[in-house]
Structure 1
Amino acid sequence: MDTQNTPVHISLWHADFWILAITNLLITMSVYMLIPILPIWMLGTAGLSQQAVGTVMGVYGIGLFLLGGFCNWLVQRYRRNRVCLWAIALVFLSLLGCWLVERELQQSWLQYRLLLFLRIVLGAAFGLVQMILSSTLIIDKSESFQRTEANHASAWFGRFALSLGPMLGIVFARTSFSPLFASAALALVAYLLLATVKFPFRTPDDGVKKISGDRFFLPDAKWLFLNLFLICLSVGILMSTQYTAMFYAMVMVGFAIALLAERFAFVDADLKSQVVAGSILIAAALMMILTRKQMVVNYISPVFVGLGIGLIGSRFLLFFIKLSKHCQRGTAVSTYMLGWESGLAAGLFVGYFFFAEDIHLALSASLACLILAFGLYVVFTHQWYIRKKNR
C-alpha cells in the first residue's frame, strides 16, 4: 500500500528546537488573535461596513506575497536569524499600530485606511517570518534525516495557533485588557525567545539574485497549492461566522484527536485517506451547523472541523515536501504556508464582504468550496501528485 509516515526521533526535541517551535506558536497566535476580534470591533465600535471589514481582513493575504521574492537574497545577504527578528519586530509594530488605531482614532475613514496599510504590512512581515523560521531556521537546527519530522512538528505548533489564537483573543475581549495589545505582547515574547537561539555564521553564496522564487514559491506544486487554497478558503469563510471561545476550544480538541489519529488510525493507510476523511469530517460539520439546532452540535461540529483540518493540513505539508527536489525543501514549505494563509485570508474576505448578514449563505458557500476542493483532489490532484513526487 502506498503510505507515507513521519518517524519520531527524541533527539530532535532539544532546547533550541523547542524554542523555535514555541516561537512559531506565539507569533502565529498573535496574528490569528485578530481573526474574531478585529472584525467585531470594526463592525461595532468603528461602524465600518461589511465590505470595508472584508477588505481589511483580505488584504493580509496580498501582503503575504510581497516580500517572498526577496527572502533568499535577504537570508544570504544578512544573518538569517537577524532577518527573522526584523520581520517579527515588524509584526509587533503592525499589531501595536492596530491597537493604537483602536485606542486613539475616532474617524472611520482614517481608521479604515490605516488598518488597510497595517494589515498589508502584517501579512508581508508574517509571511517573511514563516519563510525564514519554518523553511530555514528550523531546518538549520535539525539533522538531515530529521528535517521532515521537524517541519511536520513545527507546522503542528502553527496549526494549534488557529484555535488558541482566536480563543485567547475572545477571552481577552471579555476583560478590560485589550486583545490587540495582548497580540502585540505575544509577538514581543516571540522576538525575545528567538533572540536566545544562536545560529552559526554562514558564508553567503555568490551571485544571489535579489528577486527569485527560492524559499518563496515552488511552481511545480501549483496544483497542490490551488487545492490547499480552496480547502482553507472554505475554512476561512466558516471562521468568519464564529465568535465564541467554545468553538475554538473544541477545534483544539479536534487537533488533539487528529494527532492521535495520525499515529494510530492512519499509520498504514493509503495516502489519499487523510485528505478524504478530513474533507468528509469538515463537510459533516458544516451540514450539522446548517441543518441542526441542538446544543450538542455546538460541541461536535468544531471537533470535526479541527480533526479535518489537522488531518488535511499535515498530509498536504508532506505532499509539498515529497514533491520538491533536492534543496527545494524550504521553498516547498513556504509554498504550503502561502496556500494555507492566503486561503484563510481569502475566506475571511469572502465571508465578511459578501455574507456578513447571512450566516446560512456563508456556510453554504463554505460547503460549496469544500466540495469543489474535494472533487479536484479526488479526480485530479492526487493522481498528479503520485506521478510528480520526487521522494
Structure 2
Amino acid sequence: MLLLAELFLAMSIYVQIPVLRSLFSDTGISSGWETYGLLSFAVGLYLLGGFIEPFFQKYKRNRVCQFSIFMIIVILAGAYFMPEIFFSGIMIGVVALLLGVFYGLAQIVLLSTLIIDTTDSFQRTEANYVISWVLRLALAIGPLAGIAVAVLFAREVLSQSLQLVVSAVLALLAYLFISGVHFPFKAPDEKHVHWSTDRYLLLRGYPLFFTLLLAAIAGGVMVGHFTTASDYAFLLIGLFVALVAERMIFFNGDLKSEAIAGYILLGMACLIQLTRHGEGFSSVVAFLVGNGFGLLTSRYLLFFIKLSRHCERATAQSTYFLAYESGLAVGLAIPYVIGDIQAEAIVALVLVAVGLLLYNFVVHNWYLNNKNR
C-alpha cells in the first residue's frame, strides 16, 4: 500500500514535467517565470524539514503525511478554479514554493518514517531500497500517464485544467492508500524541540549530498528535453535495466564500480545529445539517462544508509531525497535559462564530469573512512 502511495504521490508532481513548456506558453508566461517557479519548488522542499520532529511530538506521523498531501490537493484545486490568480507573476513562485513545501514534507515522512515504522528491523534497508526505486520509476511513469491521458482526450498535450485534475487525482489516490495502512503507535520523544536536523539533514554526509546534487541536476537537465511518449518509454526501460543490472551484475560487486558505471552512462547520454540529433538518437539518450541515473542514484542511497549511525536511518533517507529531488528541479529549470540544447548538454556533461572526478578521487575514500555499517 505504501509503495502505491509513493508511486501516486511522486506521479502527481512528475506528470507535469512534459507539459511545463506548453502550460506556460498557453498562459503567456515568459521563461523567466518558469525558472522562478521550478527554483521556488526546489527551495520549498527544504523549508519544513527541520520541523518534522516537533510535528511528531504533537501529531501522529501518518496524519502529518496525509495533511501534507491534502494541502497539495487544495493548491491544485485552487489553481484549477482560479488560474488567473495562481498563474500570474509572483504567484507562480508562491504556488510552486507551497507545492515544494508540502510535497517535501509528505515525501520525507513517507520515505524516512512511515516505511520504516511498518517494516521489521532486519528488512528496513531493503524497504528503503525498494521505495526509492518506486520514486525513480515514477519519473518516467508520471509523464507517460500524463501523455496517455492527453491521447485519451484527443489532445497533443494536456491542457492546463486537465493537467491539474490529473495531478490532483493522483495525489488523492496517494492519500487514500496511506489511509488504508495501520501504523503502530509511537510514543513521542519526551525531549521537546522547536527545530531539529533529526529526520531532515545528515549534516556530516555533505560530500555525498553535494555530489548527488550535481548528478541530479545533470539528470534534470537531460530529462527536461524529453517531450514524447517514446522518450519516457525509453527512460523507463533504462531505469528497469539499471534495476536488473544492480541485482544481477553489481549485487556483490565493488561499491565503486556501480557509481562509476552510472557516471559514464550519464556522460555518454550528454555526449550523444551534444553531437547527434534525430528521433533515434533521442531514444538512445533517454535509455542511457535512465540506465546511468538509475545506477548512480540507487548506489548513493545505499551510501547514505551505510554512512548513518543506528538511529540516523530516517535522516539519511530524507537527506538523500532532498539532494535528489531539489537537484532534479534545478536541472529542469536550466533549459529555460539557456534555451540551447547543445549548450544545455555541455552544462550537464560538465556537471557529470565534476561529479565523477570528485567521487573517484575524494568522496569514495572519504565514505570508506566514515561509514558505520
Q: Which residue number in structure 1 is paired with residue 37 of structure 2?
A: 56
Checking the alignment, whether the CA contact within 8 Å between 1:29 and 1:164 is kept in structure 2 is: yes
Distance 1:239 1:295, change over 3 A: closer
> Equivalent of 2:7, from 18, 25, 28?
25
CA distance in 1, matches of 2:201, 2:10: 20
Q: CA deviation at 1:292?
A: 1.7
Cα offsets for 1:5-60 (capped at 9, x unmatched): xxxxxxxxxxxxxx001100100010111222133211x21121111111111110
Q: Which residue number in structure 2 is paired with residue 240 of structure 1?
A: 224
SS of residue paired to 2:226: coil
Q: Which residue number in structure 2 is paired with residue 363 of structure 1?
A: 345
CA distance in 1, matches of 2:273, 2:23: 25
Q: CA deviation at 1:76?
A: 2.5
Checking the alignment, whether the CA contact within 8 Å between 1:94 and 1:119 is kept in structure 2 is: no
Q: CA deviation at 1:345?
A: 1.2
Checking the alignment, whether the CA contact within 8 Å between 2:12 and 2:171 is kept in structure 1 is: yes
Query: What is the identity, as a one-letter code, of the residue corresponding to 1:242?
Result: F
> Equivalent of 1:125, from 96, 102, 107?
102
The TM-score, its normalising length taken from structure 2, stands at 0.94
Matches within 5 A, 1:240-279: 240-279=224-263
Structure 2, gaps ≥5 residues long: none
CA distance in 2, matches of 1:329, 1:248: 32
Checking the alignment, whether the CA contact within 8 Å between 1:238 and 1:363 is kept in structure 2 is: yes
CA distance in 1, matches of 2:90, 2:146: 23
CA distance in 1, matches of 2:107, 2:68: 9
Q: Which residue number in structure 1 is paired with residue 369 of structure 2?
A: 387
Matches within 5 A, 1:285-324: 285-324=269-308
SS of residue paired to 1:172: helix
Q: CA deviation at 1:110?
A: 5.6
Cα offsets for 1:43-90 (capped at 9, x unmatched): x21121111111111110000011001011112321111111001111
CA distance in 2, matches of 1:57, 1:171: 24
CA distance in 2, matches of 1:363, 1:173: 29
> Equivalent of 1:150, from 127, 144, 156?
127
Cα offsets for 1:282-340 (capped at 9, x unmatched): 11112112212354322222111111111111110000000001100000000000000
Distance 1:367 1:97, change over 3 A: farther
Q: CA deviation at 1:350?
A: 2.2
Query: What is the identity, as a one-letter code, of the residue corresponding to 2:342?
Result: H
Tell me how many residue pairs correspond in the alignment.
366
The Cα RMSD (Å) is: 1.6
SS of residue paired to 2:88: helix
Matches within 5 A, 1:2-81: 19-42=1-24, 44-81=25-62
Checking the alignment, whether the CA contact within 8 Å between 1:70 and 1:212 is kept in structure 2 is: yes
Q: Which residue number in structure 1 is paired with residue 171 of structure 2?
A: 187
Q: Which stretch has the larger CA shift, 134-143 or 172-181?
A: 172-181
Structure 1, gaps ≥5 residues long: 1-18
CA distance in 1, matches of 2:92, 2:149: 20
CA distance in 2, matches of 1:349, 1:84: 27
Checking the alignment, whether the CA contact within 8 Å between 2:309 and 2:372 is kept in structure 1 is: yes
Cα offsets for 1:145-180 (capped at 9, x unmatched): 100000000101111111111222233345367122
> Equivalent of 1:115, from 92, 96, 113?
92
Checking the alignment, whether the CA contact within 8 Å between 2:57 and 2:188 is kept in structure 1 is: yes
Query: What is the identity, as a one-letter code, of the residue corresponding to 2:96?
Result: R
Cα offsets for 1:221-275 (capped at 9, x unmatched): 1110000000011111122222112111111001111111011111221111111
Matches within 5 A, 1:86-101: 86-101=67-82
Q: Which residue number in structure 2 is paired with residue 13 of structure 1?
A: none
Query: What is the identity, as a one-letter code, of the residue corresponding to 2:134?
Result: F
Q: CA deviation at 1:131?
A: 1.2
Distance 1:100 1:378, change over 3 A: farther
SS of residue paired to 1:160: helix
Distance 1:344 1:110, change over 3 A: closer
Q: CA deviation at 1:203?
A: 1.8
Q: Which residue number in structure 2 is paired with residue 344 of structure 1?
A: 328
CA distance in 2, matches of 1:39, 1:114: 18
Checking the alignment, whether the CA contact within 8 Å between 1:97 and 1:118 is kept in structure 2 is: no
Query: What is the identity, as a one-letter code, of the residue corresponding to 1:293?
Result: H
Q: CA deviation at 1:123?
A: 0.6
The TM-score, its normalising length taken from structure 1, stands at 0.90
Distance 1:139 1:364, change over 3 A: same
CA distance in 2, matches of 1:20, 1:226: 29
Q: CA deviation at 1:93?
A: 1.7
Checking the alignment, whether the CA contact within 8 Å between 2:65 and 2:105 is kept in structure 1 is: yes
Q: Which residue number in structure 2 is paired with residue 15 of structure 1?
A: none
Distance 1:56 1:234, change over 3 A: same
Checking the alignment, whether the CA contact within 8 Å between 2:27 and 2:87 is kept in structure 1 is: no
Distance 1:169 1:58, change over 3 A: farther
Checking the alignment, whether the CA contact within 8 Å between 2:238 and 2:288 is kept in structure 1 is: yes
Q: CA deviation at 1:113?
A: 2.5
